């Protein structure tokens, strides 16, 4: 297996579990390599974390856009994306926890974040435009609509993962999709 990938994966696991202060020595142990080897692939720990972020955002984007043909109503297309997002975060708790940590990391440069998010953001915003043109969607800035729905979903999944009281509550996909659509729809 590729060593670089092994290191990225080990870092992702540790950050998801113990936060950003996970020591390099543990990363090396989990990646089954020496500490020095990590520095053959990444200049600094900071860069390593940025690369983990990049990898993770690619996975998120891919997961969200899976089976998303550009057919069907705006509502159907948006709900497909939200459904993908919800299932991805729920089915991959490690990835969800990792994204939570990286989301507040001071190490990840702003510029890199924007680049990594561009793909999925672009797609969603163009759907918003279309929905607004049809009068189906509120006349609010794209960023507001997108961020609000994303924030709701990701927070819901985070709480379901960490708050014991929510764990045995059954949260269905239908609930989430209803919340997201009704929030942004014109009534």
Partner DNA sequence: AAGCGCAGAATGAACGTTCACTCCGGATCA
Partner DNA sequence: TGATCCGGAGTGAACGTTCATTCTGCGCTT
Residue 75 parent element (H or E): helix 74-91
Nearer residue to a copy of itself within complex by CB, 135 or 165: 165
Q: What angle do CA 159, 106, 36 make, to 5 degrees?
A: 105
Neighbours of 50 (CB within 10 A): 20
Structure tokens at 93: 């708790």
Please list every residue from 8 through 47 that binds DNA, using CB under 7 A.
Answer: 21-25, 28, 32-37, 39-40, 44-46
The CB-of-44 to DNA minimum distance in angstroms stands at 4
| Non-local CB neighbours of 8 within 8 Å, separated by 6+ positions | 48, 51, 52, 55
166 binds DNA (CB under 7 A): no
183 binds a copy of itself (CB under 8 A): yes
Buried b / exposed e over 3-16, threshold 16 CB at 10 Å, is: eeebbbbbbbbbbb
162 binds a copy of itself (CB under 8 A): yes
> Which residues of this protein are in contact with a copy of itself, per CB under 8 A?
18-21, 100-101, 103-106, 110, 113-114, 138, 140-141, 143-145, 147-156, 158-159, 162-166, 169, 171, 175-176, 178-180, 182-185, 187
> Which residues of this protein are in contact with DNA, per CB under 7 A?
3, 21-25, 28, 32-37, 39-40, 44-46
């Amino acid at each position: 297996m590729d060593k670089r990938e092994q290191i990225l994966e080990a870092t992702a696991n540790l950050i998801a579990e113990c936060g950003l202060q996970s020591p390099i020595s543990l990363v090396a142990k989990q990646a089954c390599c020496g500490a020095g080897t990590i520095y053959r692939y990444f200049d600094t720990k900071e860069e390593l974390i940025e690369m983990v972020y990049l990898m993770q955002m690619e996975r998120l984007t891919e997961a969200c856009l899976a089976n998303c043909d550009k057919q069907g109503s705006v509502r159907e297309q948006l709900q497909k994306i939200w459904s993908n997002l919800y299932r991805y975060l729920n089915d991959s708790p490690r990835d969800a926890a990792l994204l939570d940590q990286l989301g507040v990391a001071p190490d990840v440069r702003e510029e890199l974040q924007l680049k990594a998010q561009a793909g999925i953001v672009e797609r969603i915003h163009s759907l918003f435009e279309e929905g607004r043109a049809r009068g189906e969607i509120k006349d609010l800035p794209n960023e507001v609509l997108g961020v609000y729905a994303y924030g709701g979903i990701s927070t819901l999944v985070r709480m379901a993962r960490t708050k014991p009281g929510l764990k045995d509550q059954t949260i269905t996909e239908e609930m989430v999709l209803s919340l997201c659509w009704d929030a942004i729809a014109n009534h």
